[in-house]
């Protein structure tokens, strides 16, 4: 049993042991935060109707992106800072604050008072407040569990917690559709009672059982990291929008200048962290092989799967469901339901893999998980545009199993490898790598898909539109609609032709032609070939990145658990370990394997 586990008082073990209380509460917090990362994706059409906004109108696309991405951006930027603050002042204290801030943001979003453009900006701001609360929850939950559980049970605990993280993102898709069908404000209101109950529960039951070390704040580190990552994330967000005659925004000054400044500030951050006495993040932790390899493989895994849900939702909503006669307005909820097999696969594999990794080490399970994920991505490339649902569900289940095999052992390996005094910032850095990679993945996936659609979709649209009776003078401009309009229309559950075709043109066509043109199958049939070819390239690249992540996972060495020699600041131990791991112990089966990267 670890030193931190032995410090738990008998009083806290009455009834349910403290560690299980910590697991239950952090799982609820993680579930609530991850549900809200995707719940808006399905409910956007109803939200925009409630705000009296047409999201496809000129000038609206950027606001649509901010409503969609603002939550994750706010969370990603603050994770490391909040993790370090929690190391200094108490992980539980800031975890509790996260529940409160998240609940406040949810309540404000529910009560969004204005309509139109003002309502959109208010909702963006309230979602950002939710993101701040989510950053506190994500930055501290893994550290709290690592403090509460002995090293031989952390894999199981983190596996259950990871189910909430991955399962919540899938469950959010379904809940968003169900709640939005009643009232769009319920999408945010559902988090309020959960947040209130969770806040009271965590305040009454959670205790500081880990190590806290008071150190001066690293002002320059916080400024350079926070500002640099913000600029980089904003640049990635705006890269998804058309710029001038370009299908995407990579040539936009906002993207070019913001991205360059962001990278420059992050490089300055690395220099600052090597110079200051009390850095925001202790870079020498990367000298520990398990920590470095775990974060590298986690980053690559998130890069491989980060845009997966968006691609699957667009494929289902824009192509497959309309081809099967489902009305565009009904596709968001159905698409969420159709992705549930991935969550089932994760729920089966996650806790089992975590528990087994406690006994046999993380390397074999995390590596196998990424290889299974690579196989799942490859299987998706074999599906035609109009696939049979059975194989699709099976392949998603295989992907879920792969993710489940990887997630818990990898997280446990990272958290086991660091001194107790740095668990908060280590958890924050792990989550930052994951969230940042997922946003990068989204930009990468969209770039590849839009590039493919730019070359294939115009020809498909021109042929289909002229065959239905439109003149080349009318069909020509329509066939060159920005691919992002087609993708966002699919994401929102809209038929783009119904929004882009003027009434005068529709009135000039025979009624049968109009019915066919605006039917569920027409646009989907034209979109099917170009989108399928593009998304297959995305899945091929994801499969390759998953294999690379598996190779990175192999680099972590044997099963390694940091053992403390006493309470207090463990920073000197990192330097000592770099000379030969004299203050760390390994499982017998891993002797000689673990070392410094």
Indicate the residue among 188, 209, 230 that finishes a domain.
209
Is 90 exceeded by the pLDDT of residue 402?
Answer: yes
User: Which residues, 6+ apart, have CB-to-CB distance to 357 below 8 Å?
Assistant: 155, 365, 366, 408, 409, 412, 413
Q: How confident is the model at residue 100 (pLDDT cuts 50, 70, 90)?
A: very high
The answer as to whether 247 is a domain residue is: yes
The answer as to whether 490 is a domain residue is: yes
Structure token digits, residue 499: 């929004």
The verdict on 136 and 261 lying in the same domain is no
The least confident of 301-315, 481-495, 567-581 is 567-581
Q: For 432-435, which contacts have Cβ atoms below 8 Å and span 24 or more sequence positions? A: 432/76, 432/79, 432/80, 432/229, 433/295, 433/298, 433/299, 433/302, 434/298, 434/299, 434/302, 435/72, 435/75, 435/76, 435/79, 435/138, 435/302
Q: What CATH number did the domain enclosing 164 receive?
A: 1.20.1250.20
What percentage of the chain has pLDDT greater than the value 90? 19
Indicate the residue among 527, 562, 583 that finishes a domain.
527
Is 80 exceeded by the pLDDT of residue 333?
Answer: no
The verdict on 55 and 95 lying in the same domain is yes
Q: How confident is the model at residue 368 (pLDDT cuts 50, 70, 90)?
A: very high
Nearest CA among 255, 539, 304 for reference residue 440? 304
- What pLDDT, on a 0 to 100 scale, did the predictor assign at position 593? 40
What is the arithmetic mean of pLDDT over 369-387? 93
What is the arithmetic mean of pLDDT over 453-474? 83
- What pLDDT, on a 0 to 100 scale, did the predictor assign at position 211? 65
The verdict on 131 and 230 lying in the same domain is no
The verdict on 191 and 53 lying in the same domain is yes
The verdict on 127 and 52 lying in the same domain is yes
The answer as to whether 161 is a domain residue is: yes
The answer as to whether 415 is a domain residue is: no
The answer as to whether 383 is a domain residue is: no
The verdict on 104 and 61 lying in the same domain is yes
The verdict on 154 and 268 lying in the same domain is no
The verdict on 158 and 178 lying in the same domain is yes
Is 80 exceeded by the pLDDT of residue 16?
Answer: no
CB neighbour burial string for 386-412, b if at least 16 within 10 angstroms, e if fewer: ebeeeebbebbbbbbbbbbbbbbbbbb
* Average model confidence (pLDDT) across the chain: 81
- What pLDDT, on a 0 to 100 scale, did the predictor assign at position 581? 34
User: Which residues, 6+ apart, have CB-to-CB distance to 365 below 8 Å?
Assistant: 353, 356, 357, 405, 406, 409
The verdict on 131 and 249 lying in the same domain is no
What is the arithmetic mean of pLDDT over 315-335? 81
CB neighbour burial string for 96-121, b if at least 16 within 10 angstroms, e if fewer: bbbbbbbbbbbbbbbebeeeeeebbe
The whole domain housing 227 covers 219-281
What percentage of the chain has pLDDT greater than the value 70? 90
Total domain count for the chain? 3
The verdict on 135 and 264 lying in the same domain is no
The verdict on 165 and 261 lying in the same domain is no
- What pLDDT, on a 0 to 100 scale, did the predictor assign at position 299? 92
The answer as to whether 315 is a domain residue is: no
SS3 content of the chain, % helix, strand, coil (to 5): 75, 0, 20
Is 80 exceeded by the pLDDT of residue 589?
Answer: no
Q: How confident is the model at residue 365 (pLDDT cuts 50, 70, 90)?
A: very high
The answer as to whether 583 is a domain residue is: no
For every residue of 119-136, DSSP letters joined together read: HHHHHHHHHHHHHHHHHH
429: alpha, beta or left? (left if phi > 0; alpha if psi -120 to 50): alpha
The least confident of 238-242, 496-500, 592-596 is 592-596
Is 90 exceeded by the pLDDT of residue 37?
Answer: no
What is the arithmetic mean of pLDDT over 18-30? 89
- What pLDDT, on a 0 to 100 scale, did the predictor assign at position 383? 92
Indicate the residue among 507, 527, 547 that finishes a domain.
527
DSSP-derived letter for residue 247 is S
The verdict on 239 and 186 lying in the same domain is no
Q: What angle do CA 62, 66, 68 make, to 5 degrees?
A: 115
Is 60 exceeded by the pLDDT of residue 597?
Answer: no
């Amino acid at each position: 049993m670890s030193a931190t586990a032995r410090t738990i008082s008998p009083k806290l073990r009455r009834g349910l042991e403290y560690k299980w209380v910590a697991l239950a509460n952090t799982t609820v917090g993680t579930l609530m935060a991850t549900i809200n990362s995707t719940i808006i994706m399905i409910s956007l059409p109803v939200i925009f109707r409630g705000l009296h906004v047409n999201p496809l109108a000129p000038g609206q696309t950027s606001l649509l992106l901010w409503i969609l991405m603002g939550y994750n951006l706010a969370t990603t930027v603050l994770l490391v800072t909040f993790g370090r603050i929690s190391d200094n002042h108490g992980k539980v204290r800031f975890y509790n604050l996260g529940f409160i801030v998240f609940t406040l943001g949810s309540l404000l979003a529910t009560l969004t008072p204005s309509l139109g453009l003002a309502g959109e900006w208010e909702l963006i701001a309230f979602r950002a407040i939710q993101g701040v609360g989510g950053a506190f929850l994500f930055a501290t939950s893994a550290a709290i569990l690592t403090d509460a559980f002995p090293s031989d049970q952390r894999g199981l605990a983190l596996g259950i917690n990871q189910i909430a993280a991955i399962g919540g993102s899938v469950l959010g898709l379904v809940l968003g559709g169900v709640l939005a069908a009643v009232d769009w404000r319920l999408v945010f209101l559902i988090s309020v009672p959960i947040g209130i109950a969770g806040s009271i529960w965590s305040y009454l039951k959670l205790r500081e059982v880990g190590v806290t070390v008071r150190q001066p704040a690293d002002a320059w580190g916080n400024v350079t990291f926070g500002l640099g990552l913000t600029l980089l994330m904003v640049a990635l967000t705006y890269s998804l929008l058309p710029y001038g005659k370009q299908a995407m925004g990579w040539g936009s000054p906002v993207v070019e200048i913001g991205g360059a400044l962001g990278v420059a500030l992050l490089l300055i951050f690395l220099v600052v962290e090597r110079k200051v006495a009390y850095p925001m993040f202790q870079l020498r932790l990367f000298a520990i092989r398990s920590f470095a390899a775990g974060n590298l493989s986690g980053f690559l895994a998130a890069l491989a799967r980060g845009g997966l849900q968006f691609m699957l939702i667009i494929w289902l909503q824009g192509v497959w469901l309309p081809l099967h006669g489902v009305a565009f307005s009904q596709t968001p909820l159905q698409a969420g339901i159709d992705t549930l097999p991935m969550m089932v696969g994760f729920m089966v594999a996650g806790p089992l893999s975590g528990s087994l990794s406690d006994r046999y080490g993380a390397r074999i399970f995390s590596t196998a998980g990424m290889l299974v994920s690579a196989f799942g991505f490859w299987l998706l490339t074999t599906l035609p545009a109009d696939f049979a649902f059975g194989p699709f569900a099976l392949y998603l289940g295989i992907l879920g199993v792969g993710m489940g095999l990887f997630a818990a052992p990898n997280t446990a390996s990272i958290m086991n490898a660091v001194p107790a005094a740095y668990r908060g910032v280590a958890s924050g850095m792990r989550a930052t790598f994951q969230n940042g990679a997922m946003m990068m993945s989204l930009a990468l996936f969209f770039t590849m898909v839009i590039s493919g659609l730019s070359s294939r979709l115009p020809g498909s649209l021109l042929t289909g539109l002229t065959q239905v009776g439109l003149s080349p003078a009318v069909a020509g401009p329509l066939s060159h609609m920005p691919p992002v309009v087609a993708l966002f229309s699919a994401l929102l559950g809209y038929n783009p032709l119904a929004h882009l075709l003027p009434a005068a043109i529709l009135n000039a066509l025979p009624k049968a032609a109009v019915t066919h043109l605006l039917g569920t199958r027409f646009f989907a049939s034209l979109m099917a070939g170009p989108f399928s070819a593009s998304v297959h390239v995305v899945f091929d690249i994801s499969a390759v990145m998953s294999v690379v992540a598996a190779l990175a996972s192999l680099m972590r060495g044997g099963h390694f658990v940091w053992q403390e020699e006493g309470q207090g600041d463990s920073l000197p131990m990192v330097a000592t370990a770099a000379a030969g791991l004299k203050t760390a112990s390994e499982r017998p089966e891993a002797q000689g394997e673990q070392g410094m990267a």
